[in-house]
Chain A
């Protein structure tokens, strides 16, 4: 990629995205434009995939809504996707949690907690979204 193009990509990135990984449960708010008015819709779910790089990075969230599995893909850096918050840290051993689709009930859960690498906490403190640090000591 040409350095000038990389510069342009950098300007499109959000700087307030908290540190989160696949397996974490996150909550986002999406702005929905209906005609000339906009409203925000929250969505909470387990991050089952993080794909792409730069402004094209997406996350796939999965949740069970009234007994039905619902997955939504969000463009992480889109200005319409707002207030991403980490609700719960998950402990997983793979990068994509597509296996959750085949699991129901108790098996479709992700274990809580995560072994932290040294330095990870310090990096997180720098991020503006700080409520994540408090929770993860569990």
Chain B
């Protein structure tokens, strides 16, 4: 059961654990996911289930057709989860938060907040240059390598560029509380992305590795 769910990051707050310590927690909403497709090794070459979240307001024809096959409304987001026992799933089913019952830690995947074209200090944590004494490199990268040898700039040299808006996994976030009634999963620590952003939550791979 290496399944996961699709949901939304609602925001962060402070909560008190059973020992009275204040901990920073992130509230994730995991509403009912529709099971849109089951992929089998025979037909698709691998075993997986495809889950859908929400409802797309104006689906195009392929999307509508795909959803119609399983008899669900066209979802706003689709995601696959690899799982060996595809027999226990059927297209058209719903998946609810109860799959996280008893799970102690989860991985949360989301697209991080976009920072635009960011300089080297924000993007790579470089130190700034001197503010005065004729310095021309307050927030600039300065030297990017030696001269005649190697007479090139090494690949992977950390430079300014686009930052954020990429898929980030916050691994092994401990489950703080699960509210099945409201479909909320509260985890310790921070999850990537803005409040209200789309998240993919699955049981922690680290925990799975320890158990097997």
Distance in angstroms from A66 CB to nearest chain B CB is 29
Q: In the complex where A4-B10, A8-B27 touch, is A75 in contact with B22 (Cβ < 8 A)? A: yes
Chain A residues, CB < 8 A from B184: 4, 8
Q: In the complex where A4-B182, A56-B14 touch, is A31 in contact with B27 (Cβ < 8 A)? A: no
The answer to whether B50 has its CB under 8 Å from any CB of chain A is: no
Nearest B residue to A55, CB-CB: B14
The answer to whether B42 has its CB under 8 Å from any CB of chain A is: no
A12 touches B16 (CB 8 A): yes
Chain A residues, CB < 8 A from B22: 55-56, 75, 78
When chains A and B are docked, how far (Å) is the Cα of A77 from the Cα of B15?
Answer: 10
Considering the complex, which residues of chain B in the window 1-59 have a beta carbon less than 8 Å from any beta carbon of chain A?
Answer: 10-16, 19-20, 22, 27, 29
The answer to whether B108 has its CB under 8 Å from any CB of chain A is: no
Chain B residues, CB < 8 A from A69: none
Chain A residues, CB < 8 A from B186: 8
When chains A and B are docked, how far (Å) is the Cα of A55 from the Cα of B16?
Answer: 9
Chain B residues, CB < 8 A from A9: 13-14
Chain A residues, CB < 8 A from B196: 2
The answer to whether B169 has its CB under 8 Å from any CB of chain A is: no
When chains A and B are docked, how far (Å) is the Cα of A33 from the Cα of B19?
Answer: 9
- Summed over the interface, the residue pairs from A and B with CB atoms below 8 Å come to a total of 47
The answer to whether B195 has its CB under 8 Å from any CB of chain A is: yes
Most buried by B among A4, A33, A78: A4
Nearest A residue to B182, CB-CB: A4
In the complex, per-residue mask of A1-28: 1 if CB is within 8 Å of any chain B CB, else 0: 1101100110010000000000000000
B20 touches A5 (CB 8 A): no
B11 touches A12 (CB 8 A): no
A12 touches B19 (CB 8 A): no
The answer to whether A42 has its CB under 8 Å from any CB of chain B is: no
Considering the complex, which residues of chain B in the window 148-192 have a beta carbon less than 8 Å from any beta carbon of chain A?
Answer: 182, 184, 186
When chains A and B are docked, how far (Å) is the Cα of A70 from the Cα of B12?
Answer: 33
Chain A residues, CB < 8 A from B195: 2
In the complex, per-residue mask of A23-57: 1 if CB is within 8 Å of any chain B CB, else 0: 00000000101000000000000000000001110
Chain A residues, CB < 8 A from B10: 2, 4-5
Nearest B residue to A6, CB-CB: B13
Set A31, A55, A79: member contacting B13, Cβ < 8 A: A55
When chains A and B are docked, how far (Å) is the Cα of A56 from the Cα of B23?
Answer: 10
B15 touches A8 (CB 8 A): yes
Chain A residues, CB < 8 A from B20: 31, 78-80
Chain B residues, CB < 8 A from A55: 13-16, 22
Chain B residues, CB < 8 A from A1: 11, 13
Chain B residues, CB < 8 A from A78: 16, 20, 22
Residues of B bordering A, CB below 8 Å: 10-16, 19-20, 22, 27, 29, 182, 184, 186, 195-196
Given A1-B11, A78-B16, 6 further pairs, Cβ under 8 A: A5-B27, A8-B15, A8-B27, A8-B184, A78-B22, A79-B16
9 A-B contacts (beta carbon < 8 Å): A2-B195, A5-B12, A8-B13, A8-B184, A9-B14, A54-B14, A56-B14, A77-B16, A79-B16
